[in-house]
Amino acid sequence: MMNTSRIVVALGGNAIQSGDATAASQQKALKSTAKQLTSLVEAGHEVVLSHGNGPQVGNVLIQQAEADSLATPAMPLDTCGAMTQGMIGYWMQNAFTDVFFERNINKGVVTVVTRVLVDEKDPSFQNPTKPIGPFYTEEEVIARQASDPDAHYKEDAGRGWRRAVASPRPKAVLEASAIQELLSAGELVISGGGGGVPVILKNGRLQGVEAVIDKDFASEMIAEMVDADILMILTAVDQVSLNFNSPDEIKLKEMTIQDCEDYINNGHFAPGSMLPKIEAATAFVRSKPGRKAIIASLHDIDLALQGHSGTLIYDAKDVVTPIR
């Protein structure tokens, strides 16, 4: 009989969009995702889902820029992030509700628009590096900076210039207690979309900031704050690899957090790709004895929980037992 766990699942962008940005196509992709993830619910696990929003918030920013006028002023980045949290959460709620109905599962699905506290003194605010939104020519950037001198832009791989924003580390998830209560009430909870809406505490009040929080770091913070047993990061590859995409690639079935630190120090994982996933998994496992992290493909979620796919990350000091 399967042991049940509290699991935070961080979905990669491939779970939502695979090239076609229409609402119908993204909803179709999420229906497929819901079918695969419902096996966790059927097994009795308590589940919190987080997700990326990079393509979606990029499209919203383009729409905002193109419609910007006195009558329809463009909304700031934090508001656009909240928009996409609600939009994707709504799509996911519909997808899971449909699958639950088909499988005769009596369970509710709730989206929590999640705010994540960051430190206004985080060094990333002094060196914004996260590219977002549409591409601009150099001439357009000069004109934009004349009207908004505080905005930062950077050239992006020869494709043009894009706005660059900070990517601060999360300090706290402000809706953590609500997520806890919803889990305890038996709900499937969707939270932390796109890393959450970044806010700072200034003069005793919360204030949204122009930043993007890494989804994997935010998911790790949520997992800690809801006392999860497992952090599962789902991505486009079936396992973590050394020497990725080279003739001497080595796929890793498991790693201790001590292994992870050695591999990070030796430069094995690419920033902006696998590195934040490894760092998030390591932080979660270290946060409390007995916790585990899994990095796997969405399509192999059941096999990953049984130890037959994906990469298991654990503390060498713990006695590792099968998840199944």
- Provide the token pair at 238: 């079936």
**Catalytic residue check, 35:** no
**Short-list 130, 124, 123, 174, CA closest to 154:** 130
3 is catalytic: no
Instruction: Look at residues 203, 128, 206, 131 and name the one whose alpha carbon lies nearest to residue 171.
Output: 206
Query: Residue 277 catalytic?
Result: yes
Q: Which residue's entry shows tokens 């909803």?
A: 27
DSSP secondary structure letters along 203-219: TTEEEE-SB---HHHHH
Q: Which CB contacts under 8 angstroms, 24+ apart, belong to 298-301?
A: 298/11, 298/12, 298/14, 298/15, 298/33, 298/36, 298/37, 298/234, 298/235, 299/36, 300/238, 301/36, 301/37, 301/39, 301/40, 301/232, 301/234
* 13 included as an active-site residue: yes
Q: How far apart are CA 229 and CA 292, in angstroms?
A: 7
Catalytic residue among 54, 130, 196, 310: 130
Q: Which of 58, 89, 133, 215 is catalytic?
A: 215
Tokens of 250: 């080595």
Catalytic site residue from 13, 108, 160, 307: 13
Q: Which residue of the set 12, 81, 192, 277 is catalytic?
A: 277
14 belongs to the catalytic site: yes
Q: What positions carry a catalytic annotation?
A: 13-14, 130, 215, 277
